[in-house]
Amino acid sequence: MSNLYGKHIVVGISGGIAAYKSIELVRLLRKAGAEVRVVLTEAAAHFVTPLTLQAISGNPVANSLLDPQAELAMGHIELAKWAHLIVIAPTTADLAARLAIGMANDLLSTICLATTAPILAAPAMNQQMYRQPVVQQNLSTLQQRGIMLIGPNAGEQACGDVGTGRMSEPSEIFAAVQTALQSQAAQVRSAKPFNGLKIAITAGPTREAIDPVRFISNHSSGKMGFALARAFAEQGAEVSLIAGPVSLTTPENVQRYDVESAQQMHDLTLSLATRQHIVIGCAAVADYRSQTVAEQKLKKKDDSETMMLQLIKNPDIIATVAALSDNRPFVVGFAAETQDVQHYAAKKLQRKNLDMICANDVARQGQGFNSEQNALTVLWRDRQQTVQQQQLPLADKYELSQKLATLIVKQYQITLSD
């Protein structure tokens, strides 16, 4: 998946003939999964129309700082906060000069002053204008203030001149946007407390085929596992998410692997486990699968009220990881129970040789499977092998995952010091 997926990109277009190229840039960004909002200067609207850019971007085009409707919600501040990155293509000599001295006399320059997002500028102007010392000084000033520049290229220009001043091609600017966001993500990760940790998480249900149209599964939505993956990734961990069949968006900066069956999840988890610091089994893995899978749809027998399936055990993924002798990671299991939650969780902690286990009561309404909230009882063994526990009360699954991630890393670090 592209690192632009779900990113918020503001494309600023100023008044130059190269503005027509920005239509293709917007198309490339949208194709990569980015959310794009276009801001036109007054002059740019003479070269490209708001209607065209609205159709390509899928969002209304902003072109006025004094639009009463937009400014009811402080539109320029909203866009400045919304953006993960601002790309200005083309950046004319006039706009470069205004940005260099900190002017905010139109919507685009105001957004640039009001944002904390990185800014990428693609200069485009006549070759003689580009060579002027004052223009070079303005562009240098922008770079010194952290604004990234791409181009311009050399070649034949719309006015007939030949020289440096052509705006970089949309594909080049697109690549620069990707690089800028990758660099930003790396800087964010390096400042996070979980930086350097490698985490593998299983999430969601598995499907065990009976025939080409039927399968055995459960009610797991995968929301807890995905929330946990997000919580770890946001704190800088390198997260591998092994997901059963769910309809959830992959969290940012998470490597996702999709599987169907318990055997597939087992094989993939084992292939990753010895390269991880922590492995978390959050998936609701089917305990059993059909011994044989019919090649054709099984037909209902009119003379029989029953149907017999021979089931065999699936491999216990988290217990297998916990049994590794070489490069064994810190292993965390989940236990979804309907009664005696703490008792059964403690037995699983011991029997499967886990380092921690997170138990939840799925019989309680409003928590567990398919819900937005959950509560956990977390158990682990201390240095004296005494079982300790901590209650994480009912909360939104993401909020709960943040607390759980911190607790897991704390206990992992304690084991390293032993």
One-letter identity of residue 191: A
Cβ contact 124:16 at 8 Å: yes
Reading the block at residue 418, the tokens are: 């032993």
Cβ contact 150:172 at 8 Å: yes
Nearest to 331 by CA among 135, 178, 200: 200
Cβ contact 125:135 at 8 Å: yes
What percent helix, strand, coil does the chain show, rounded to 5?
35, 25, 40
Partners of 377 in beta bridges:
359, 391
106 is in an annotated binding site: no
Reading the block at residue 262, the tokens are: 């318990």
319 class by beta-carbon count within 10 Å (0-12 exposed, 13-18 middle, 19+ buried): middle
348 is in an annotated binding site: yes
282 is in an annotated binding site: yes
Q: How far apart are CA 211 and CA 216, in angstroms?
A: 10
318 is in an annotated binding site: yes
Q: How far apart are CA 104 and CA 144, in angstroms?
A: 19
Strand 153-156, strand 238-243: pairing: unpaired
Phi and psi, residue 197, nearest 5°: -80, 140
357 is in an annotated binding site: no
396 is in an annotated binding site: no
418 is in an annotated binding site: no
Cβ contact 137:121 at 8 Å: no
**152 prior amide bond cis, ω within 30:** yes
Cβ contact 177:119 at 8 Å: no
Q: How far apart are CA 212 and CA 296, in angstroms?
A: 6
Cβ contact 279:203 at 8 Å: no
Q: How many C-beta atoms lie closer than 10 Å to residue 349's C-beta?
A: 21
414 is in an annotated binding site: no
352 is in an annotated binding site: yes
Phi and psi, residue 331, nearest 5°: -115, 125
23 is in an annotated binding site: no
Active site residues: 159
Q: How far apart are CA 198 and CA 281, in angstroms?
A: 14
Based on its alpha-carbon atoms, the radius of gyration of the chain, rounded to whole angstroms, reads: 28
* Residues tagged in the binding site annotation: 281-283, 287, 297, 315-318, 334, 348, 352
* Residues tagged in the binding site annotation for CTP: 281-283, 287, 297, 315-318, 334, 348, 352
